[in-house]
Structure 1
């Protein structure tokens, strides 16, 4: 045994060695018996009639096979396999304890069978490391998003409480900011709750047949104050489509996408909503002539808390959860959503759904 091995590793190696030796003996015995029968049948003898010779031949073949196995164990350097197993177990133990940077080294790939094992373990560790990184980033983002409005509320509340010389207009302004930041906190809380519900295993959609074109038309009209306030022209080309989806959840999808287009389209711009049915597939496109998104940002646009334009005025920012919620709802319906955009030209979101 190698020095430095733990008691558990030594016990494990001993157990594996016992199992291997036992399996080798049983296997060699079975092969020896099979070879004996083949020899007797090919020579035209019945092994039952010549049991003494049969047993003797079986033992000779068994000894020969065991000698061959011994030769292979001695010169095939089988201990490498035991060392490899120990290393794999050691790395898996580190991963289980939270060290997701642990990896198996490439030299193991000289054994083809271990090469696949090494690849699987390393891929698993990489996935866990990425998940841990995303978890920490998520916590950091939540803390930042909550801390920012809380700091504003606390600051303006202290000013109102300690300064009696504020004018009525200043008090209204500060109270308005407190109310706005409170609403922002409430919206963030609602969005986080929605995400938690959508990602829970107990999430059940309630699909039912309804007119998708009517839903889109009604939601466009419901958003009219927003797009009319920016003098944005809205066009709708809607085929009559009866779908079987969760109407309330899909309403969130369309509202998020329409609001997104209105938010990032400058005054005098245009928004185009199209609904088409292609066989068993429904396609909805919402295109705008807004500021657009770079190709690099498009890859992360559906990530939680990701905001493509971090230089925007805070009053025009959302929580960065709207598109994550949108994608999750579409995924739950078995659909797909992707974005195509050119900075300075506009953005098109395409939602494809089964029907």
Structure 2
């Protein structure tokens, strides 16, 4: 019996990624239909003259459907990243400043306010300011999709876990001989010492327990760490409660 139990456990562990992928794909079709029809109905709101309640209900259905679709996409991406090996990376030369600016704009566009406004060295959006300090010619050789996800995730977290009215995020890139560093700094609540070593674990969220109040699966930083490892790099976190956090990724110059 013990032997059989062990074999069942191992099989369950091996089937975990396959199950996540299957569940995610099964959710995609009904979600696409829900979102498609809700958008189509909303587009007719001016002609149909819906009641305030109906209009609000439709908007909320569409909003939550879009959010759920994003969660499913992230689960599928997690499954993809987990299965990658260094030889699978599609590496190419990337301009780090352009990549950082694009990721900052994408992170800001997910906030439920006005579109992002881009300046020469900073990006702002109604109380959220992202400063990018990066040499204009600094380049890295990396997988663009993965590195884009990494940067956007760190910037999005810096925005999401900051409850101040004015949020300031600083992205700094530098060349250190045989390595290149990318730091994302915020001045938010910071991370408790007991949580710092856990934030890269799967499904872990910096809440005392998962309440559902924080968007996401708790997989973002787990994927960030995996992407860093795939590029033969390292990631470091410095955080002080009430003062904010600094996430620094170091990558070898190739």
TM norm. shorter chain > 0.5: yes
Greater shift, 259-268 or 345-354, is seen at: 259-268
Name the CA distance, whole Å, in 2 between partners of 1:175 and 1:314: 22
User: Secondary structure, in 3 states, of the residue corresponding to 1:97?
Assistant: helix
Query: Residues 18-57 of structure 1: matches in 2 within 5 Å?
Result: none
Q: Give yes or no for contact 2:239–2:246 (8 Å, CA) kept in 1.
A: yes
138, 143, 149: which one pairs with 1:252? 149
- Aligned residue number for residue 187 of structure 1: 70
Task: Measure how far apart 1:329 and its partner are.
Answer: 1.4
- In 1, the alpha carbon distance for the partners of 2:126 and 2:216 equals 18
Matched, 1:263 2:146: no
What CA distance in whole angstroms lies between the structure 2 residues aligned with 1:201 and 1:331?
Answer: 11
* 2:199 match: 301
Which residue number corresponds to residue 128 of structure 2? Answer: 232
| 2:109 pairs with 1:211 | no
C-alpha displacement at 1:333, in angstroms?
Answer: 0.9
Deviations 1:113-158 (A, max 9, x none): xxxxxxxxxxxxxxx89x96xx6xx98xx99xx9xxx9xx9xxx9x
Indicate if the aligned counterparts of 1:195 and 1:325 stay in contact, CA closer than 8 A: yes
Give the whole-Å Cα distance in 2 for the aligned partners of 1:295 and 1:206: 36
More helix as a share of residues? 1
Are the equivalent residues in 2 in contact too, given 1:230–1:267 (CA < 8 A)? Answer: no
Q: After TM superposition, give the deviation of residue 286 of structure 1 in Å.
A: 0.3
In the alignment, what sits opposite 1:339? Answer: 237
Query: Given the superposition, is the C-alpha separation of residues 304 and 312 from structure 1 closer, same or farther in structure 2, using an over 3 Å criterion?
Result: closer
Secondary structure of the residue that 2:216 maps to in structure 1?
A: coil
Any gaps of 5 or more consecutive residues in structure 2?
A: 39-49, 112-122
Residue 242 of structure 1 corresponds to which residue in structure 2? 139
- Quote the residue 1:279 is aligned against: 177
CA distance in 1, matches of 2:152, 2:95: 16
Q: Which residue of 2 aligns with 1:174?
A: 57
How far has the Cα of 1:249 moved from its partner? 1.4
> How large is the Cα RMSD of the aligned pairs?
3.4
The aligned residue for residue 330 of structure 1 is 228
For 2:246, the equivalent position in structure 1 comes to 348
- Rg larger in structure: 1
TM-score (norm 2): 0.69
Provide, for residues 264-293 of structure 1, a one-character-per-residue CA deviation record: whole Å limited to 9, x for no partner: 222213211110111111111100011211
Change (3 A) 1:214 1:201: closer
| TM-score using structure 1 length | 0.51
Q: Which has the higher strand share?
A: 2
CA drift of 1:97 comes to: 2.7
CA contact (8 A) 2:169 2:186 kept: yes
- Counterpart for residue 119 of structure 2: none
Could you say which residue in structure 1 is the equivalent of 2:115? Answer: none
Question: 1:335·1:353 contact (CA, 8 Å) conserved in 2?
Answer: yes
